[in-house]
């Protein structure tokens, strides 16, 4: 059968399979399948079940909303999950033997997260509460409510994806009695508490909180172990940086967690720590691994992932993920210091769960030509059984391009890793245009994972080059830190060196038809590139930065990000201006399409407006497309119709100029 080319609208056909949770007896699992609904212009996610003995898959919920964060009770008789079927996320419980899901919470501001109590009769919850109110208090619905002024007294007053942060709302921890519905608030005060874990005995919880009154320059979340009965607290870690992903060992003697200090500010690699409750000591298990713990991948398909940061087995072995060399791999660690990979290269494990006995894992795996499915992997042998096949028919029908991995010499003679895709329908001896894609972050990475946008460009007849220049995660602490104070320096050289390498080794690349695009940091770099070279015949900049001076005051992270990344604030505007693509606007001769979300508070709309008006006033070839009801994450989690429109804008611009 002749395969068809991938289309923009294929986003509606692809399924994201994630959040596998293994039952306590290891015989079954539940997971969440998410798809975009074109008719209703939203994401729909439902709960599924798989028998791990027979591999039989069945659907357990059929709503037209979103289910997330499934979790088994300790006796395996019930599954709790979050659902927004009543607008805001609430906790529901579904009996293992079937029946209707019972709504357990009815909180005014919904539920952020939850953890089962080991007794199975209570649920610990994390939810926002307005000052002076309780979890269950609700605002009166008044359609004619008048707008009110918002007084700003702090620097951290807005957040991308949230908007203006409610000033009188605080996240607290509570416990819900499932049978009676009674809710008890455990924490108090005007602080933001993050519920992390509950001990297997039920006597302790771990939470994160920073109780400093002024949070403007607080970039830390200490972790505390608290006695449920006496409320006595013990600090697990109280240092600069963010820590979380907590898990108690099965005997409750050890507490594992992950996090990163601020040695290299936000470019510091995450580590895996273990706290020994008996001798009150803390050990870093990954100090000899020069790669970040967790998932640093940028992609555009996976939805609803809730991968644990670390999983204990009953013999006190640990499993976690590591982002390394373009892969996200499952790793094993022992308390004695043994540590090694437990999954193959050239793939992206974007979610996982390990059985209590450590015999097997259920892994959600993607690679460049597989959107992602669930597999049961035997730990000892690495052997895998396919559990789901939601995207199997799609793969059989659509021609997907397997990228070629490349390694070349970048700035300072450093090795740089990337990938090159040939266009669909490639024929020897023909010439094809090439598009360079640049990821955001910059502390993130392209990976051996399915990326619809990259496959779309290849399907439209373009070669695609995407690399991990300095500043990217997965290649050492030195590599990810090297971009700080050098935006547009070594990173620019790395990208251009990758282009030169691709051209030198592939005579099919038409050097007169080169395009470049990227978002966020990739948008900054797109702007920078076209201001420093005319090699590209078309460019699309997305959710970009053009002016670091104004970014300082308008971005939700600007006032500290500039200092962290450029070593400069408003006392040194010359440095910020020298790093700003807007300074070099007069040099831009490349036709530039500017895509930007109107609700983007990370790289606010004015960044696009400044660039557009400046270029227009200079008579340059440019257009600006604004996306309403969209924030910084448009390309990954935005409204389906806007995601489709965005891809059509990108491909339309390149079609016009390449």
Q: What phi, psi does 152 have (nearest 5°)?
A: -105, 120
Q: Which of 361, 390, 419 is the last residue of a domain?
A: 390
Q: Is 124 among the domain residues?
A: yes
Q: Output the CA torsion 205→208→214→215 (10° steps).
A: -160
Instruction: Note whether 358 and 422 are same-domain residues.
Output: no
Does 636 score more than 90 pLDDT?
A: yes
Instruction: Note whether 485 and 364 are same-domain residues.
Output: no
Give the CATH number of the domain where residue 604 resides.
3.40.50.1820
Catalytically active residues are: 520, 632
Rounded mean pLDDT, 292-306: 93
Rounded mean pLDDT, 124-130: 96
pLDDT at 140: 75
Residue with tokens 């970039």: 219
Q: Which of 364, 390, 416 is the last residue of a domain?
A: 390
Instruction: Note whether 546 and 621 are same-domain residues.
Output: yes
Contacts of 210 (CB under 8 A, 6+ apart): 191, 192, 218, 220, 221, 222
Q: Is 145 among the domain residues?
A: no
Contacts of 575 (CB under 8 A, 6+ apart): 566, 567, 568
Closest CA to 491 of 295, 323, 267, 263: 267
Does 304 score more than 90 pLDDT?
A: no
Q: Is the entire prediction scored with pTM above 0.95?
A: yes
Residue with tokens 């790793």: 331
- Let me know the angle formed at the C-alpha of 316 by 313 and 322, rounded to the nearest 5 degrees: 70
- Let me know the angle formed at the C-alpha of 256 by 373 and 52, rounded to the nearest 5 degrees: 30
* Kind and range of the H or E run holding 172: strand 169-177
Average model confidence (pLDDT) for the chain? 96
pLDDT at 145: 81
> pLDDT-derived band of residue 60, with 50, 70 and 90 as boundaries?
very high
Q: Is 146 among the domain residues?
A: no
Taking each continuous run of H as one helix and of E as one strand, the counts in the chain are: 11, 41
Instruction: Note whether 420 and 493 are same-domain residues.
Output: yes
pLDDT at 439: 98
Q: Is 502 among the domain residues?
A: yes
Q: What phi, psi does 566 have (nearest 5°)?
A: -115, -10
3-class SS of residue 333: strand
Q: Which of 360, 390, 420 is the last residue of a domain?
A: 390
- Let me know the angle formed at the C-alpha of 583 by 582 and 584, rounded to the nearest 5 degrees: 90
Please state the domain count of the chain: 2
Does 141 score more than 90 pLDDT?
A: no
Q: Is 144 among the domain residues?
A: no
Q: Is 118 among the domain residues?
A: yes
Instruction: Note whether 386 and 411 are same-domain residues.
Output: no
Roughly what angle, to the nearest 10 degrees, separates helices 640-657 and 452-459? 40
pLDDT at 306: 87
The number of residues making up the chain comes to 658
535/511 Cα distance (integer angstroms): 8
570 burial type by CB count under 10 A (0-12 exposed, 13-18 middle, 19+ buried) = exposed
pLDDT at 541: 98
647/521 Cα distance (integer angstroms): 19
Rounded mean pLDDT, 286-295: 97
Across 242-273, b (16+ Cβ under 10 Å) vs e yields bbbbbbbbeeeebbbbbbbbeebbbbbbbbbb
pLDDT at 98: 77
Count CA atoms closer than 13 A to 444's CA, side-chain side: 14
Beta bridge partners of 546: none
Rounded mean pLDDT, 312-333: 98
332/309 Cα distance (integer angstroms): 13
Give the CATH number of the domain where residue 95 resides.
2.130.10.120
pLDDT at 240: 94
Q: Is 242 among the domain residues?
A: yes
40/12 Cα distance (integer angstroms): 12
Across 552-565, b (16+ Cβ under 10 Å) vs e yields bebbbbbbbbbebb
Q: Is 531 among the domain residues?
A: yes
CB 480 within 8 A of CB 468: no
Instruction: Note whether 585 and 645 are same-domain residues.
Output: yes
DSSP 202-259: SSEEEEE----S--TT--EE-EEEEETTT--EEEEE-SSEEEEEEEE-TTSSEEEEEE
pLDDT digits (tens, 9 = 90+) for 151-209: 999 999 999 999 999 989 999 999 999 999 999 999 999 999 999 999 999 999 999 99
Q: What percent of the chain has pLDDT over 70?
A: 100
CB 400 within 8 A of CB 449: no
Sign of the CA dihedral with 450 first, then 453, 457, and 459 last: positive
> pLDDT-derived band of residue 583, with 50, 70 and 90 as boundaries?
very high
Rounded mean pLDDT, 535-550: 98
Instruction: Note whether 192 and 209 are same-domain residues.
Output: yes
Instruction: Note whether 38 and 84 are same-domain residues.
Output: yes
Rounded mean pLDDT, 592-602: 98
Contacts of 181 (CB under 8 A, 6+ apart): 104
pLDDT digits (tens, 9 = 90+) for 469-525: 999 999 999 999 999 999 999 999 999 999 999 999 999 999 999 999 999 999 999
Determine the structural domain holding residue 334 and report its residue range.
Answer: 4-139+151-390
Structure tokens at 370: 């597989």
Instruction: Note whether 347 and 441 are same-domain residues.
Output: no
pLDDT at 654: 98
Instruction: Note whether 33 and 162 are same-domain residues.
Output: yes
Instruction: Note whether 568 and 613 are same-domain residues.
Output: yes
Rounded mean pLDDT, 299-322: 95
Beta bridge partners of 284: 273
Roughly what angle, to the nearest 10 degrees, separates helices 521-530 and 490-505? 70
Q: What percent of the chain has pLDDT over 90?
A: 96
Closest CA to 70 of 42, 43, 50, 41: 50
pLDDT digits (tens, 9 = 90+) for 215-254: 999 999 999 999 999 999 999 999 999 999 999 999 999 9
Instruction: Note whether 81 and 165 are same-domain residues.
Output: yes
pLDDT at 138: 87
Does 116 score more than 90 pLDDT?
A: yes
3-class SS of residue 143: coil
pLDDT at 99: 81
User: Which DSSP letter does residue 3 get?
Assistant: P
pLDDT at 100: 86
pLDDT at 156: 95
CB 587 within 8 A of CB 620: no
DSSP 536-565: -SEEEEES----HHHHHHHSSSHHHHHHHH
pLDDT at 290: 97
pLDDT digits (tens, 9 = 90+) for 437-455: 999 999 999 999 999 999 9
């Amino acid at each position: 059968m002749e395969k068809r080319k991938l289309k923009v609208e294929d986003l509606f056909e692809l399924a994201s399979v994630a959040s596998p949770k293994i039952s306590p007896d290891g015989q079954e699992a539940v997971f969440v399948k998410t798809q975009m609904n074109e008719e209703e212009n939203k994401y729909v996610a439902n709960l599924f079940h798989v028998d791990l003995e027979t591999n039989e898959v069945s659907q357990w919920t059929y709503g037209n909303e979103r289910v997330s964060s499934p979790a088994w009770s300790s006796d395996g008789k019930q599954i709790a999950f979050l659902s927004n079927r009543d607008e805001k996320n609430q906790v529901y419980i579904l009996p293992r033997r079937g029946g209707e899901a019972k709504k357990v919470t009815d909180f005014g501001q919904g539920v952020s997260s939850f953890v089962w109590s080991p007794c199975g009769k209570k649920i610990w919850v994390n939810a926002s509460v307005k000052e002076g109110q309780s979890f269950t208090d609700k605002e009166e619905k008044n359609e004619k409510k008048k707008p009110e002024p918002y007084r700003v007294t702090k620097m951290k007053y807005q957040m991308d994806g949230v908007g203006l942060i409610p000033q009188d709302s605080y996240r607290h921890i509570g416990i819900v009695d499932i049978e009676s519905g009674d809710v008890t608030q455990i924490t108090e005060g005007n602080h933001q508490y993050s519920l992390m874990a509950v001990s297997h005995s039920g006597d302790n919880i771990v939470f994160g909180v920073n109780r400093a009154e002024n949070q403007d320059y607080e970039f830390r979340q200490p972790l505390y172990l608290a006695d449920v009965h006496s409320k006595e607290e013990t600090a697990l870690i109280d240092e600069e940086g963010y820590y979380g992903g907590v898990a108690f060992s099965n005997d409750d003697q050890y507490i594992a967690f992950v996090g990163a200090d601020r040695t290299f500010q936000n470019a510091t690699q995450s580590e895996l720590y273990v706290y020994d409750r008996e001798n009150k000591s803390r050990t870093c298990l990954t100090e000899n691994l020069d790669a970040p713990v967790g998932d640093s991948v940028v992609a555009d398909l996976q939805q609803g992932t809730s991968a644990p940061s670390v999983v204990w087995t009953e013999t006190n072995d640990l499993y976690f993920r590591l982002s390394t060399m373009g892969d996200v791999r499952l790793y094993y660690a022992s308390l004695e210091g043994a540590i090694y990979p437990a999954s193959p290269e050239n793939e992206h494990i974007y979610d996982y769960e390990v059985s209590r006995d450590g015999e097997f894992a259920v892994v959600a795996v993607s690679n460049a030509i597989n959107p992602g499915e669930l597999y049961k992997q035997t730990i000892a042998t690495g052997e895998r059984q396919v559990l789901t096949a939601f995207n199997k028919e799609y793969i059989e029908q659509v021609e997907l391009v397997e990228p070629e991995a490349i390694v070349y010499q970048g700035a300072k003679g450093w090795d740089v890793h990337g990938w090159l895709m040939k266009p669909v329908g490639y024929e020897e001896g023909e010439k094809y245009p090439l598009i360079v894609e640049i990821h955001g972050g910059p502390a993130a990475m392209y990976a051996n994972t399915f990326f619809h946008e990259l496959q779309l460009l290849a399907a439209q007849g373009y070669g695609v080059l995407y690399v991990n220049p300095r500043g990217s995660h997965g290649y050492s602490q030195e590599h990810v830190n090297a971009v700080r104070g050098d935006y547009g320096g070594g990173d620019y050289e790395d990208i251009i060196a990758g282009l030169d390498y691709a051209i030198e080794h592939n005579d099919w690349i038409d050097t007169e038809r080169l395009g470049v695009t990227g978002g966020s940091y990739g948008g900054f770099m797109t702007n920078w590139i076209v201001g420093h070279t005319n090699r590209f015949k078309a460019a699309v900049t997305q959710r970009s930065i053009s002016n670091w001076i104004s970014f300082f005051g308008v971005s939700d992270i600007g006032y500290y990000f500039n200092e962290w990344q450029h070593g400069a604030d408003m006392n040194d505007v010359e440095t910020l201006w020298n790093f700003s693509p807007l300074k070099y606007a007069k040099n831009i001769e490349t036709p530039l399409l500017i895509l930007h979300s109107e609700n983007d508070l990370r790289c606010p709309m004015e960044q696009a407006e400044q660039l557009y008006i400046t270029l227009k006033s200079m008579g340059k070839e440019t257009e600006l497309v604004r996306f309403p009801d969209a924030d910084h994450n448009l390309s990954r989690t935005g409204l389906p119709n806007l995601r489709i429109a965005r891809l059509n804008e990108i491909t339309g611009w390149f079609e016009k100029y390449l």
